[in-house]
Every structure is written in structure tokens, then in C-alpha cells.
């Protein structure tokens, strides 16, 4: 069983040298355990935070141990009555080819139905990133039909799901993404009303002007994935009583500072700004997954994926994700 471990912690930017591939024999299954062969591994921005020593909302990734990560795959052997060989499952198997899972731990392994939803989407639109979009939109922004809502990193795993969920609620949805190809995709294939390429703007004032054109009635709700210049630009266009769901600050994950230019707007516009961690809200997952599964199953949400081939490709694909090289949900295909 090949696996990728965290070998040493990044000093500043993360590099491929922080990771190491190792090989270990698979242990014998004990009662209650299930052996899963991973088909896809999920790469997610949160993994960057775990690579640091400092305490965040989650404990750091231990050195020398398999990198944490969501996985989908197939059960190959089981000593648990609820799982049998051939079951398709989603879990947190990590950056490795196989995992042995104690299936008695609640939520450790979940069977999924691939009749209408391809297996890989359970790591994206119909998985953790989709629920993230759902939570921020429904529980924090809580938009009314006709309101204007925005999202940064719009073409990504979270952003694309957000667009479909907001359209389903009758909102005007405007995305912000890096590059013309991503923006074209956001409008033409994801059905956003508009998308702004932040890379065409040298500062937040210029980006904010473009937002004024795309959001003539101002911004009622915003879902932040990036931070920095993007958040500054959005804040300038917010309406009174705007709600901002703070989901991610990816522009700062490698250590860049993220100052806020106009914090007084929080007061002037009586804004609600709320950060959240999706894994702390397990109570919404069933309802959110149900809606997301229907959107994908009926073709209303057609998420795009960037697929790296083979476990050895995981570190470079992950570093690329932190630089916007992915286009849609970043996965690693193992089988
Ligand atoms: P994406 O699929 O959106 O990929 C990340 C994207 O972020 C890149 O494609 C790129 O898009 C953008 N990006 C990367 N670096 C920068 C940068 N320096 N400046 C601006 N944009 C950058 O990832 P996800 O959808 O998986 O995650 C989106 C966000 O949601 C992340 O911030 C993540 O940490 C957060 N998240 C938070 C959760 C929570 O519980 N709070 C749960 C899940 C995700 P572009 O090319 O358009 O710039």
C-alpha cells in the first residue's frame, strides 16, 4: 500500500519536498473493519493549514503519517455486517491506495449510490465542498429571491455548487474567478448571471467598479473563499444589512498577509460577517446532500473536475490548487 506522508513542515510556501511517498504492508482486518480500495482522492485547500505546526480550528497533520484527505472507492474486504465487497463508499482514507476503516465509528464510511451521480462527485458537488456552499448560502446568507449574491473562486468545487444553489433560490448570482476561461465557464456552463476576472484588475477599486456594473442593485450576500483584494472590492458594493459568509481565505494560506481596507463598512452597512467550518454542522449534511444530489442528477449542476493521474501526482496537483491551476474540483485518480 503506497501512501504519501507529511515529511516536514513548510517554511513559507509549501513545496513537493514537504511530502514523501512510503510503502507499508496492509494489516489484517479486525472485527468491525473494512478494507477500501481508493478510486479517487480529494485535494482540498484546508490541507495547507493542516501542514503547519500552529494550532488552528483543527489539529496539525502529524509528521510521518498519511496525509489527511477525503476518498471514494470500493470495499474489497469487510468484517463489518453493514459493508460488503463491491460497495461504493466515501470516507477519509487519506493520500494512499487503500485504507482500513473502523466502520463502527459514526460517519467514518458512508455507502453511496452511483446510479445518477458519478462516484467522484461525492468528493465535490455532492460531498464536503457542496455542503460547504449550501451551509454558507442557506444558513448564513439566507437570501430572498431577487437578491444579488456573489462568490469568489466561483469556478471551483465550492463556488460552482453555490451558483446552482443560489439560482435555485431565484437570486442574481455573480462570480469572481481568475482568467477568461474560468469566467466563461462560470457564465455559460454553470449559469451564473455574470463573472468577473479579478486578474484583469490591478487593485480592489478597479475590481469594485466592475462589480458595480455586474451588480447594479448592490450586493446582498457574499460568500468569501479568497480574502484580500477580492473581499475589499465586494465590501465596497454591499447593501445595508448584507451578509458575508466567510468560508476560506486561500490568498493567505501560504503566509501572505490579508489586510482589510475598509472595516468601517461593517458598521456603516450593518453587515453580518460570519465564519464557519462545515464539519461542525453535521446536522445539515443530509438535507444539503439531498438537494445537491438532485441538482447533479437532474443536470442542473454540471461540476467540472481537474483529475491528476496516480498517487505520485498528488503533491504537485495540491500545490497547483493553491495557485489556481485547477479548473473545478481537484481530484487524484488512483484506479
Ligand atoms: P477550488 O476548487 O475553488 O480551488 C481553489 C481556487 O482558489 C483556485 O482554483 C483559484 O481560483 C483560487 N485561488 C487559489 N489561490 C488564490 C489566490 N492566491 N488568490 C485568489 N484566488 C486563489 O477550492 P474549493 O472549492 O475546494 O475551496 C474554496 C474555498 O473554500 C477555499 O478557501 C477553502 O479553504 C474553503 N473551504 C472552506 C470550508 C469550510 O468549512 N469553511 C470547507 C471547504 C472549503 P481562481 O483561479 O479563480 O483564482
For cell 466592475, the residue is 210
pLDDT at position 38 over 90: yes
**Segment 156-178, tens digit of pLDDT:** 999 999 999 999 999 999 999 99
**Interface predicted TM-score of the whole assembly (ipTM), two decimals:** 0.98
Task: Return the closest-CA partner of residue 252 out of 216, 225, 280.
Answer: 225
How far does CA 54 lie from the centroid of its chain?
Answer: 22
Return the DSSP state at 139: I
Best substitution site from 200, 248, 253 to test ligand 1's pocket, by max atoms within 8 Å of Cβ? 248
pLDDT at position 55 over 90: no
pLDDT at 58: 83
Q: For ligand 1, which residues put their CB under 6 angstroms from it?
A: 44-46, 129, 132, 153, 155-159, 177-178, 182, 225-226, 247-248, 250-251, 276-278, 321-324, 326, 329
pLDDT at 57: 82
**Segment 107-138, tens digit of pLDDT:** 999 999 999 999 999 999 999 999 999 999 99
**Segment 273-297, tens digit of pLDDT:** 999 999 999 999 999 999 999 999 9
Domain locations in the chain as residue ranges: 2-124+304-333, 128-279
Contacts of 243 (CB under 8 A, 6+ apart): 140, 141, 142, 220, 221, 222, 271, 272, 273, 274
- Give SS3 for 11: coil
Per CATH, the number for 128-279 is: 3.40.50.720
- Give SS3 for 32: coil
Q: What is the mean pLDDT of residues 314-321?
A: 98
Topology of domain 2-124+304-333 in CATH is Quinone Oxidoreductase; Chain A, domain 1 (3.90.180)
**Segment 231-279, tens digit of pLDDT:** 999 999 999 999 999 999 999 998 899 999 999 999 999 999 999 999 9
What is the full DSSP assignment across 201-252? -SSHHHHHHHHHHH-TT-EEEEEESS-THHHHHHHHTEEEEEEEEE---GGG
Atom of ligand 1 minimally distant from the CA of 129: 43
pLDDT at 56: 81
C-alpha cell at 116: 445518477
Residue nearest to atom 19 of ligand 1 (CA): 251
Element (H, E) at 299: none
pLDDT at 54: 85
pLDDT at 252: 94
What is the full DSSP assignment across 71-120? EEEEEEEE-STT--TT-EEEE---SBSEEEEETTSTTSEEE---SSS-GG
Distance in angstroms (rounded) separating the CA atoms of residues 285 and 111: 15
Amino acid at each position: 500500500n503506497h501512501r504519501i506522508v507529511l515529511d516536514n513542515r513548510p517554511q513559507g510556501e509549501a513545496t513537493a519536498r514537504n511530502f514523501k511517498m512510503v510503502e507499508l504492508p496492509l494489516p489484517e482486518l479486525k472485527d468491525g473493519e473494512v478494507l477500501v480500495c481508493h478510486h479517487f482522492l480529494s485535494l482540498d485547500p484546508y490541507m495547507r493549514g493542516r501542514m503547519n505546526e500552529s494550532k488552528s480550528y483543527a489539529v496539525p497533520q502529524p509528521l510521518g503519517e498519511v496525509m489527511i484527505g477525503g476518498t471514494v472507492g470500493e470495499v474489497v474486504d469487510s468484517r463489518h455486517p453493514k459493508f460488503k465487497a463491491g460497495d461504493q463508499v466515501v470516507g477519509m482514507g487519506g493520500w494512499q491506495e487503500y485504507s482500513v476503516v473502523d466502520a463502527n465509528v459514526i460517519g467514518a464510511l458512508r455507502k453511496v449510490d452511483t446510479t445518477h451521480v458519478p462516484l467522484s462527485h461525492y468528493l465535490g458537488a455532492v460531498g464536503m465542498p457542496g455542503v460547504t456552499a449550501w451551509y454558507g448560502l442557506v444558513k448564513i446568507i439566507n437570501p430572498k429571491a431577487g437578491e444579488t449574491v456573489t462568490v469568489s473562486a466561483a469556478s471551483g468545487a465550492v463556488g460552482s455548487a453555490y451558483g446552482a444553489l443560489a439560482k435555485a433560490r431565484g437570486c442574481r448570482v455573480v462570480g469572481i474567478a481568475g482568467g477568461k476561461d474560468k469566467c466563461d465557464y462560470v457564465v455559460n456552463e454553470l449559469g451564473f448571471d455574470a463573472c468577473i476576472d479579478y486578474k484583469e484588475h490591478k487593485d480592489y477599486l478597479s475590481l469594485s467598479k466592475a462589480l458595480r456594473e455586474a451588480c447594479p442593485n448592490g450586493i446582498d450576500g457574499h460568500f468569501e473563499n479568497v480574502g484580500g483584494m477580492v473581499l475589499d472590492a465586494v465590501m465596497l458594493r454591499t447593501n445595508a444589512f448584507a451578509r458575508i459568509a466567510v468560508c476560506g481565505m486561500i490568498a493567505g494560506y501560504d503566509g501572505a498577509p490579508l489586510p482589510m481596507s475598509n472595516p468601517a463598512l461593517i458598521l456603516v452597512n450593518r453587515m453580518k460577517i460570519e465564519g464557519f467550518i462545515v464539519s461542525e454542522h453535521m446536522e445539515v449534511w443530509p438535507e444539503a446532500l439531498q438537494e445537491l444530489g438532485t441538482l447533479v442528477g437532474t443536470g442542473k449542476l454540471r461540476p467540472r473536475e481537474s483529475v491528476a493521474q496516480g498517487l505520485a501526482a498528488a503533491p504537485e496537483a495540491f500545490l497547483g490548487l493553491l495557485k489556481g491551476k485547477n479548473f473545478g474540483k481537484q481530484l487524484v485518480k488512483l484506479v
